[in-house]
Structure 1
Amino acid sequence: MSQPIWSAPVRYAEVDQQNIVFNAHYLTYCDEASTAYFRAAGLLGFAEGVRLVTSTITWRGSARWGDEVAVTARCTATGRTSVTFAFTITASGRPCCEVSTVYVYADASGVPQPIPDDVRARLRGDQDRDTGAAAG
């Protein structure tokens, strides 16, 4: 999805003494965006079973109080039990960072489980749109 899937104004409580958004809040923005992504894809039930295992942030700039933060989200890879997402975060149109996350699908006890085929197909559709490949 190339359009922002989630956006919000930077709240005063998110800004640190350097007058910029404290770095941990960017992962909260990604969490909000992933929830919006799963909701838009009709996959909230699947989302309840994913566990974050890796996050990597590449910084480009900072958001400040009063900025509008916007996040794009797209699925970039699916494994047997995992899914990788790429997020791009901007602040009032300025680049802030790119974030890559890996989630593992697991049962209630935390044991990794294979991603169901119907879920995989929906997630793969996002990857296929990025590459121009036909879904299927």
Structure 2
Amino acid sequence: MPQVWSSPVRYVECDQQGVVFNAHYLTWADEASYGWWAAQGLAWDDLVTRGVDPMVKASSLEWASSARWGDTVTVDADTEQVGRTSVTVRFTVRVGERVVCVVRTTYVCVAEGRSTPWPDDVRARLTGG
């Protein structure tokens, strides 16, 4: 079941065409990521305290339609793929049932400044095992 985050579209998030400026979709995915990590049983602060630092390696955006000022966007966050050192999360941004954008973000486990395999307990949580 996806983790859900929601917010009304603010006027400041819109461009002169009256639609949401593209960079805000990444911000919304980032906002939703905190809930996604917590839903995995992996509080961000706890990971960092342990020396596990998930860092964004890549994000991609694929638009289907526009969100506009006055809309309420909902972001569903789902695990898409878990690798040895990475995890890709799919953030589906929608207005009601209409999909507006899909953001895919790949996080890499970093320790001491370089990519490293997920600790066993973290990987187990990421894979649902």
After TM superposition, the score normalised by the length of structure 1 is 0.83
Which ranges of 4 or more aligned residues in structure 1 deviate by more than 6 Å? none
Identity in percent: 50
Secondary structure of 1:5's partner?
strand
Shift of 1:40: 2.5
Q: Give the unaligned 5+ runs of structure 1.
A: 126-134
Counterpart of 2:21 in structure 1 is: 22
Structure with the larger RCO, 1 or 2 (CA within 8 Å, 6+ apart): 2
Look up the match of 2:47. Answer: 46
Amino acid at match of 1:46: L
> Aligned partners of 1:60, 1:76: CA distance in 2, in Å?
19
RMSD over aligned CA atoms reads 1.6
- Identify which range, 26-35 or 114-123, moves more after superposition: 114-123
Aligned pairs, how many? Answer: 124
CA contact (8 A) 2:41 2:125 kept: no
Partners of 2:57 and 2:38 lie apart in 1 by: 21
Tell me, in whole angstroms, the C-alpha distance in 2 between the residues paired with 1:16 and 1:73.
25
Deviation sequence 1:12-57 (CA, Å, 0-9, x none): 1101101011000000110011111112222123377111111111
Structure 2: segments with no counterpart, 5+ residues:
none
TM-score by length of 2: 0.87
